[in-house]
Amino acid sequence: MPNAEDKTLISPCGLYCGGCPLFQARTDATLRKRLAEARGVPEDRLVLCAGCRPLKGKVTVVDSAVCPTYACIEARGLEFCYECPDFPCLKLAPCADRAADIPHNTKIYNLLLIRRDGVDSFVANYRTRIRQYLRGKKPNAGGDIKS
């Protein structure tokens, strides 16, 4: 069952900050060490992230500026982009930049799942979906992933 923190870690654009290595490394020393080594920085200089909503859109990957998507949602008084009459807009367009590292191309799909199934279901099933996405395999006709 998702907890209250899990729910606040779903960004307005549909990304799940709780699944991000920069969030997870805050409490996972092994992951923190691996990330620091991969980035070539000392562990104590690794910039970690508390999540989009807790940081009010000033996430580490947006160069300390407020994320334009977060600012838009705040200005419109919405919780998620799918609630907007302009959904989907260019702020949610898929991008190739670091697509292998950051699952930004899942935003629209995630938002549609949240709208259809709710936040609890989205969080509860996140790990299965992200593993499927990262494996790069489409489900078969029955919905299962073929190895």
Q: Is residue 141 part of a domain?
A: no
**Radius of gyration of the chain from its Cα atoms, rounded to whole angstroms:** 16
Q: Is residue 144 part of a domain?
A: no
Domain count, the chain: 1
Phi, psi of 54 (to 5 degrees): -60, -30
Count Cα atoms within 13 angstroms, Cβ side, for 111: 19
Categorize the per-residue pLDDT at 28 as very low, low, confident or very high, splitting at 50, 70 and 90. very high
Of 8, 18, 40, 44, nearest to 29 (Cα)?
A: 44
Say if CB 61 and CB 51 are below 8 A apart.
no
Q: Domain residues for 96?
A: 4-135
Q: Is residue 50 part of a domain?
A: yes
Q: What is the pLDDT of residues 109-139, one digit of tens each?
A: 889 989 999 998 988 888 888 777 777 656 5
Categorize the per-residue pLDDT at 108 as very low, low, confident or very high, splitting at 50, 70 and 90. confident
Q: Is residue 122 part of a domain?
A: yes
